[in-house]
Structure 1
Amino acid sequence: MLVKNITAKHVFLACGHTDMRKSIDGLAAIVQQNFKLDPFSKDVFMFCGRRKDRIKALFWDGDGFSLLYKRLDNGKFCWPKSPNEVISISEQQLRWLMEGLEICQPKSIKMSQPKSII
């Protein structure tokens, strides 16, 4: 197995487009300098190119960085457009994104907190 089991606290999307020529060091610098987050945390940081047909995911697995790269053969990712912003998404939103859907589905059932019956 090439990749260790990934257990992320959060998944962060770097909104807008990122230069896909950037490698691990360049992406880690964006996380640290632009978003003021710790690239050595147990979080996954995702970036998308201008054409929206490729993404990179960066994460620290304890003894080094891993960089995952996905390029679509057909279609585009529905990537948030707000430049210079980072957002945290849920596991469900990550699944939607990877399936080509918007991360905010208008007809999905929203999570709620249980109400006390007493």
Structure 2
Amino acid sequence: MFSLSSSDRYLLYQGDCDMRRGAYSLSGLVRNELGRNPLNGDVFVFLNRRRTCIKLLRWESGGFVLFIKHLEKGTYTRPVQHSSEGVLSWAELVLMIEGIVVKKSLQKPRYKLF
């Protein structure tokens, strides 16, 4: 049911995206330009050139879910990418959507299951 959580995998599209695109057009972009399967349950994040609109695309059983947020004032800031794949953490996504810019941060090591 229309939900996103910290257990999901988030992938940020590196280019600028035309926000007139719908779910099927964005899924084609994922398949053709990112070389990924849009049906695998990952969440794909797209920003427009002016950084005023964000779209999140996810496949759930039965169809695509498209989350859209358009800012009336201000812009989104792209997070600093640690990998070339554009993988975002849940925290980075939430900070980006809420408009919080972290100038300096230090994340202490935590136990992680593989």
Unaligned 5+ segments in structure 1 are none
> Structure 1's 27 and 97: CA in aligned 2 closer, same or farther, altered over 3 A?
same
TM-score, with structure 2 as normaliser: 0.81
Q: Given the two structures, how large is their TM-score scaled by the length of structure 1?
A: 0.79
Structure 1 partner of 2:98: 99
Sequence identity (%):
29
The number of equivalent residue pairs is 108
Secondary structure in structure 2 of the residue aligned to 1:70:
strand
Following TM superposition, by how much is the alpha carbon of 1:96 offset from its aligned partner in structure 2, in angstroms? 1.1
Determine which of 3, 6, 31 is the counterpart of 1:5: 3
What are the Cα deviations for residues 4-59 of structure 1, in whole angstroms up to 9, with x where unaligned? 33355301111231011111111001111111111001211011111110011100
Tell me the SS of whatever aligns to 1:101. coil
Indicate the structure (1 or 2) with the bigger Cα radius of gyration. 1
| Pairing 1:109–2:91 present | no
Q: How far apart are residue 112 of structure 1 and its match?
A: 1.5
Counterpart Cα distance in 2 of 1:70 and 1:25: 18
Residue by residue over 1:46-96, the C-alpha shift from the partner in whole angstroms, topping out at 9 and shown as x without a partner, is 1111111001110001110011111011100002699xx750111110111
The gaps in structure 2 that reach 5 residues or longer are none
Question: 1:41 maps to what in 2?
Answer: 40
